[in-house]
């Protein structure tokens, strides 16, 4: 059995690895294991998600040192990249910046066994893409219609809906799924 460890930002990414990525791999000899970078530990338990960059590095390197791990990656969206990540610049975007940014991250990790990956839209944007494609969910038809209206308002560009913290895909989805 080959294990791929993925250090992730939070519960959404953890669910993606376990519920989407693992079935997609569909190989009996390969399995992806998510590991959430912890923000801090308290006597009442660990608080996870949204950790600073310096919490990702030791976790990823410790996983890479384990002989049962075939590969180790860091998976995060640009919206949630910790501000202390080497090379991070919230004002820049595009493919050229993304490659330079990933290069700085790799240099900081100093491990050929750990590969960072940053997707430019907020991770929850994938949920909007699924909704736009007609996938059913636990949301009501009215809520799904409202979310499709948001997509249409931005000319069908799902990435364009993220104008601020209040309008980010994760916040829009949370608002749509709240009981009224």
71 shares a domain with 148: no
Same-domain pairing of 34 and 105: yes
Q: Which of 109, 49, 42 is nearest to 76 (CA)?
A: 49
- The whole-model pTM stands at 0.72
* 105 and 29, same domain (yes or no): yes
Q: What is the pLDDT of residue 69?
A: 92
Residues 17 and 67 in one domain: yes
- Burial class of residue 36 in the structure, from the number of CB atoms within 10 Å of its CB (0-12 exposed, 13-18 middle, 19+ buried): buried
CA distance 1 to 145: 43
Mean pLDDT of 113-124: 78
Q: Are 132 and 105 within one domain?
A: no
What does the pLDDT read at residue 64? Answer: 94
Residue 90, pLDDT above cutoff 80: no
CA-wise closest residue to 160 among 138, 46, 152, 38: 152
Q: How many domains does one find in the chain?
A: 2
- Residue 25: which domain range? 2-119
Q: Are 107 and 141 members of one domain?
A: no
Confidence category of residue 166, pLDDT binned at 50, 70, 90: low
Are 134 and 109 found together in one domain?
Answer: no
Mean pLDDT of the chain: 80
User: With the CA atoms of 110, 115, 116 and 120 taken in that order, what torsion angle do they form, in degrees rounded to the nearest 10?
Assistant: 140
Between CA 7 and CA 13, with CA 9 as vertex, the angle to 5 degrees is 85
Confidence at residue 155, expressed as pLDDT on a 0 to 100 scale: 77
Lowest mean pLDDT among 90-99, 116-125, 131-140, 149-158: 131-140
Retrieve residue 110's tokens.
């100093």
């Amino acid at each position: 059995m080959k294990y791929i460890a993925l250090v992730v930002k939070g519960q959404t990414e953890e669910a993606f690895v376990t519920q989407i990525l693992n079935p997609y791999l569909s190989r009996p000899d390969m399995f992806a294991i998510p590991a959430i970078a912890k923000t801090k530990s308290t006597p009442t338990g660990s608080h996870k998600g949204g950790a600073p960059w310096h919490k990702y590095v030791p976790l990823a390197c410790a996983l890479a040192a384990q002989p049962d791990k075939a590969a180790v990656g860091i998976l995060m969206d640009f919206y949630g990249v910790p501000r202390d990540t080497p090379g991070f610049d919230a004002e820049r975007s595009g493919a050229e910046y993304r490659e330079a940014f990933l290069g700085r991250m790799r240099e900081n990790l100093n491990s050929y066994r750990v590969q960072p990956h940053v997707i430019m839209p907020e991770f929850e944007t994938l949920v909007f893409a699924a909704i736009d494609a007609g996938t059913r969910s636990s949301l009501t038809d009215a809520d799904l219609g409202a979310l499709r209206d948001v997509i249409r308002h931005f000319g069908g560009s799902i990435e364009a809906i993220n104008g601020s913290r209040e309008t980010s895909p994760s916040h829009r989805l949370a608002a749509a799924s709240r009981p009224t």
